[in-house]
Amino acid sequence: MYIRTRGGLGQPLGTGECSRWEKSPENFSQAIAEHYVSTELKQQLKGERVQCRPDSKVCEVTFPGAITVGVSLVKVPEYVIARPPGEAKARREYNYSCTPQGGLTLERRWYIVRIILIDPTGVFKKKDKLRKEFCAKLQDKFNKMNPRWLNLQSFRFRVGYRSGAPTREEKANFGTLDFPVYLLDTQHGPKTVRDLMKQHKVPKTIKIPTSGKEADPYKLAEDGWKSRDTRGVGIPSGEGHAKVAFIKTHRVFADATADLAQAFVNVTAHEIGHMGNLVRHSASGVMRYPVLLNVDIDFSPGDEGPFLADLRRLRGLRQ
């Protein structure tokens, strides 16, 4: 027996062990490929032929109608991969587990992009209605960015809220797909911002992957925070993954004239855009500056592509 760890990508589904499957790459691959054909191609077919590489790590399963599905077992026992040959786009990853009777259960793996709204002084703590609307609308905005692409890439956005500050250890250990956003208030000055950046391991210099330009994120943050015009600051991750944003909640409360939740969604989405290496302002969409507060605005097509591409870059980074 062994204990399988899942690296934060969901809990084991069954309690049985899967060694029977793992010892038989042909049967294992056939079951995975049949699951792929059923869930992705919506066809109930039985695999007719299974051919595995000599090392048994990669197999090809052939179905009636000239359908072939490639299965990779290189990541076993963590997860398995299925894809039709030549179509990297439709690749699917599955966590697997087994029932006590030995039945195989496959569960699609999603890459969760976490937007974590951190409220150190409890600005939103008692504003339940506003907070819930803010979180729901923000999550919706990102999940609707390009649903087809997000589905192909198995990305999902999740917005979470926490009141109180994370521990130093937590701050230093946010993951590549985590977007921590601090909801600050009048009492927070440039020093708070600088200290938080250090605790989040933001480096002294960042290099923007698309332009190759270097920038001093600490200077960027100080200028941004001191400027009376800004309602927030978003620090890009550059070629690394450390990124953090700060919202001047007092400014948003003061400037919003109509829908307060919408104003927070727009200001926060704008700073998340900066965190995702959109360093320049755009002529339209949510990356326009100053950010419109009272209308529901999306990222412009010219900003959407690079932002999503940066998610793939972040996923590919080893932590």
Residues near Zn ion (CB under 5 A): 289
Q: How far apart are CA 294 and CA 173, in angstroms?
A: 35
Evaluate whether 116 touches 157 at the Cβ level (below 8 Å): no
CB of 273 to Zn ion, least distance (A): 8
Q: 227 or 289, CB closer to Zn ion?
A: 289
Determine if residue 174 is left, alpha or beta; phi over 0 gives left, psi from -120 to 50 gives alpha, anything else beta: beta
Compute the least distance from the CB of residue 14 to Zn ion, in Å.
48
Radius of gyration of the chain (CA): 23
Question: CB of 64 within 8 A of CB of 74?
Answer: no
> Least distance from C-beta 241 to Zn ion, angstroms?
20
Looking up tokens 């480096």 gives 203
Q: 3-class DSSP state for residue 217?
A: helix
Cross-strand bridge partners of residue 162: 118
Least spacing, CB of residue 81 vs Zn ion, in Å: 38
Residue 152's H or E segment, with its range, is helix 147-152
Closest contact distance (angstroms) between CB of 140 and Zn ion is: 22
Nearer to Zn ion, 185 or 303 (CB): 303
Give the residue from 155, 12, 158 showing the smallest Cα distance to 79. 12
Q: Which residue is nearest to Zn ion (CB)?
A: 289
Nearer to Zn ion, 140 or 289 (CB): 289
Which CB, 235 or 261, lies closer to Zn ion? 235
- 171 versus 231: smaller Cβ distance to Zn ion: 231
Question: Closest CB to Zn ion among 5 and 211?
Answer: 211
CB 270 to Zn ion: min, Å: 6
Q: How many residues does the chain have?
A: 319
